């Protein structure tokens, strides 16, 4: 379980809020179940609103550099106004749907560093809003996503890092205001290739797989990026050898560009 203590900033005797996640491990398209427990303080208090949402830490370009900001990408209001009596406990259950585009935060059983995604609770009371820290959720790859990730591993690509970028990948089914990039270092057999960045953009039926390939700078040329995207069905991906597919495509592209 994941627990969070959230002090309602209402002065002495204010209510406290605890959010409990029954299961932190989820997949895109799933649901995170939990409950919000409001412990009344020393006086009755009118709660004007209570909601939970998903929040992610996203990098955005700003001037000549980048800034990191928290972006909320879904929110559910939990009922209407109510009153918490002094010393009483008010429990509100919830089920928060995980959008299909939610970034993966766990890879091969290990957390992806830099992926901050979780449930944020917001309490509105006496014309004030109290937001607390994130209750992290562990978003595991969908089976189709795992198949593509496994294919990179079979080809010898080494995971480097992951981040969330504000913006859009044109030509995809993207709806969220940000996207995830999972970066791999290329193995020696792709001698002209430095790195590959992988992005998934999914909906309930299929997903766009977007690859950005970073060419090593040569003696007489600068490095350059090449993009490739293809669609994978979420429920009919098992008939393809994805390692062979990726290897063939990399070989074809590398041959045309004299990478290999």
Domain edges within the chain: 2-139, 143-256
pTM here? 0.86
Distance of CA 68 to the CA centre of its chain: 15
**CATH class (in words) of the domain with range 2-139:** mainly beta
Instruction: Please say whether the beta carbons of 48 and 85 come within 8 A.
Output: no
Q: Is 2 a residue whose pLDDT tops 60?
A: no
pLDDT digits (tens, 9 = 90+) for 175-185: 999 999 999 99
Mean pLDDT of 151-175: 94
Highest mean pLDDT of the ranges 13-27, 159-173, 202-216: 159-173
| Backbone torsions φ then ψ of 224, nearest 5 degrees | -150, 155
């Amino acid at each position: 379980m994941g627990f969070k203590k959230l002090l309602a900033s209402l002065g002495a005797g204010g209510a406290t809020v605890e959010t409990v996640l029954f299961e932190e491990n989820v997949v895109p398209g799933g649901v995170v179940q939990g409950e919000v427990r409001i412990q009344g303080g020393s006086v009755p208090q009118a709660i004007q609103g209570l909601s939970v949402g998903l929040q992610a830490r996203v990098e955005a370009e700003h001037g000549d550099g980048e800034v990191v900001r928290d972006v909320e990408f879904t929110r559910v209001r939990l009922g209407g106004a109510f009153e918490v009596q002094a010393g009483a406990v008010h429990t509100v259950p919830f089920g928060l749907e995980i959008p299909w585009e939610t970034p993966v935060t766990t890879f091969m059983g290990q957390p992806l560093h830099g992926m901050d995604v979780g449930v944020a609770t917001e309490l509105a009371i006496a014309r004030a809003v109290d937001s607390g820290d994130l209750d992290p959720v562990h978003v595991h790859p969908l089976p189709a996503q795992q198949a593509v990730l496994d294919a990179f591993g079979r080809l010898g690509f080494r995971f480097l890092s992951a981040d969330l970028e504000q913006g859009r990948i044109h030509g995809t089914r993207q709806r969220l205001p940000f996207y995830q990039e999972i970066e791999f270092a290329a193995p020696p057999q792709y001698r002209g290739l430095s790195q590959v960045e992988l992005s998934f953009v999914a909906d309930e039926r299929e997903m766009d797989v977007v690859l950005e390939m970073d060419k090593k700078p040569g003696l007489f040329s600068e490095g350059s990026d090449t993009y490739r995207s293809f669609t994978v069905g979420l429920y009919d991906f098992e008939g393809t050898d994805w390692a062979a597919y990726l290897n063939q495509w990399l070989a074809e592209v590398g041959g045309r560009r004299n990478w290999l």
